[in-house]
Structure formats: C-alpha cells, structure tokens
Amino acid sequence: MYLIGLTGGIASGKSTVAQRLAELGAVVIDADRLAREVVEPGTPALAAIAKEFGADLLQPDGNLNRPALGAIIFTDPVRRERLNAITHPAVRQLTRDRVAAAAAADPHAIVVYDVPLLAEAKAGGLVTFDLIVVVQADADTRIQRMVDLRGLTREEATHRISSQASDAERLALADVVIDNTGGLDATLLQVDALWERVRTAETDLGRVSDGIRSP
C-alpha cells in the first residue's frame, strides 16, 4: 500500500484534487467525513459535545447543528481545543481502521488521506505517509471563494483561515505542492502528473515488499 497525506487550507481546492485522484483509482479517506461519522446521533462524541457546549446545539432530529457549532469554535480558540479533545481521538481510531481495511482489501492500493489537520495527524503518529501533498492557493483567493461559493462574509472567511495552520506550516511538510491559484485544467494536469509519479513509486515499493529487486 502507498499512503498519501493530502492537505490544504480551507477553500484551497483540496477536495478537487482528492476527487481527481479517486477518479484515477485512488482509495480516498476523507477526514471531514469521518469527523461527521463520529458525531452521528447516539455516539459518545455527540453526547460529550452536547454536555460541553449545550444541548441547544442538537437539532430536533438529534443531529448536530454544525453551523451553530462552527460559529462558536472558529472565533474561540479555547473552545475549539475543547471540541478537538472530544472528536480527534475518535477520528484517529476510525482513520486507522479505514487505512487498515484498504490495505487488507488491496496490498497495492494507493490510499489518499484527505485531512485539513495533517500536521496534527503526523505529529500525533496517526499514520506514516509515503508522500505528503499540499494544495496551495493564496489567502485572498481562498477568501473570495468562500464569499462567492459558500456565502460567507469576508470576516467569517478570514476567521476560518486564521483558525487553521499557516501556509508556511503546511508547506514545510510538503513533498509535492499543487498550485490551485489558476484554472481547473492547470490543476488537473498537476494531479495527473502526480498520479503517474505515485503509480511508479508504488510499483517499485511493491517489488521490494514482494522480495523482487527493482530493475
């Protein structure tokens, strides 16, 4: 198995890159989806959130009111850390389970872990990546995307950017940088080139693990 850590700031275009890699044949594990799974009705994490932040964050159907919670945590670093302390352990365990399942299903799978907080995942020893890919777009571009596509105010968009790691912190981890400040075609060309590189690397890794010396 070849494991890619894929990250990027909010509205950088990380999801576009992940989707393209999935189309090319990668197994994509989306950390945001896992974060939703661990707070589904009836889960211990959701009960802990209701206790910490108030039962009014639960909708009538029992689901978490994510926009209301986001309004709290994106402006309050202390409360954001309290939320992370509740959800991160559950997401980490689910991540390990999904990566192990992908490897069991296909020992030569190319797995992409799509995660906003890759620095934290790496530092916490969550998984060991064969390659780290950072999707990059400047802050002004990302703010404008959030305003145009998500209906946020510029202030809300700026709060969301400031709540994450800085561009410098992400880029310091990168083995590959995908520049997503241009058009979609330019981005997809970079992703396709990455895929060819990764396929070659996985083939060589597979030969070594199978006890066959690469030519």
Q: Is pLDDT above 90 for 125?
A: no
In a domain, 151, yes or no: yes
pLDDT given for residue 116 in this prediction: 83
Does any domain span residue 139?
Answer: yes
CATH number where 158 lies: 3.40.50.300
Q: What angle do CA 197, 201, 202 make, to 5 degrees?
A: 115
**What pLDDT does residue 117 have?**
76
More confident residue, 4 or 162: 4
Confidence class of residue 204 from pLDDT cuts 50, 70 and 90?
A: confident
**pLDDT given for residue 178 in this prediction:** 97
Range of the domain at 186: 2-205
pLDDT digits (tens, 9 = 90+) for 44-55: 999 999 999 999
Show Cβ contacts of residue 104 under 8 Å, excluding neighbours closer than 6 positions: none
In a domain, 215, yes or no: no
User: For residue 215, is pLDDT > 70?
Assistant: no
Q: What is the pLDDT of residues 16-46, one digit of tens each?
A: 999 999 999 999 999 999 999 999 999 999 9
- What is residue 212's predicted lDDT score, i.e. its pLDDT? 40
How many Cβ atoms from other residues are within 10 Å of residue 115's Cβ? 25
214 band by pLDDT with thresholds 50, 70 and 90: very low
Rounded CA-CA distance 123/143 in Å is: 28
pLDDT value at 73 more than 50: yes
Most confident of 161-165, 186-190, 203-207: 186-190
Mean pLDDT over each residue of the chain, to the nearest integer:
89
Span 105-134, average pLDDT? 82
**pLDDT score, position 206:** 63
| Nearest-angstrom CA–CA distance, 116 and 125 | 16
Residue 165 confidence (pLDDT): 83
Tell me the percentage of the chain whose pLDDT exceeds 90: 69
- The total domain count for the chain is 1
Cα 5–172–176 angle (5° rounding)? 50
CB 159 within 8 A of CB 74: yes
Is the full-model pTM beyond 0.85?
no
In a domain, 211, yes or no: no
Residue 15 lies in a domain: yes
Q: How confident is the model at residue 210 (pLDDT cuts 50, 70, 90)?
A: low
214 lies in some domain: no
d(CA 109, CA 199): 10
What 8-state DSSP symbol labels residue 164?
Answer: S
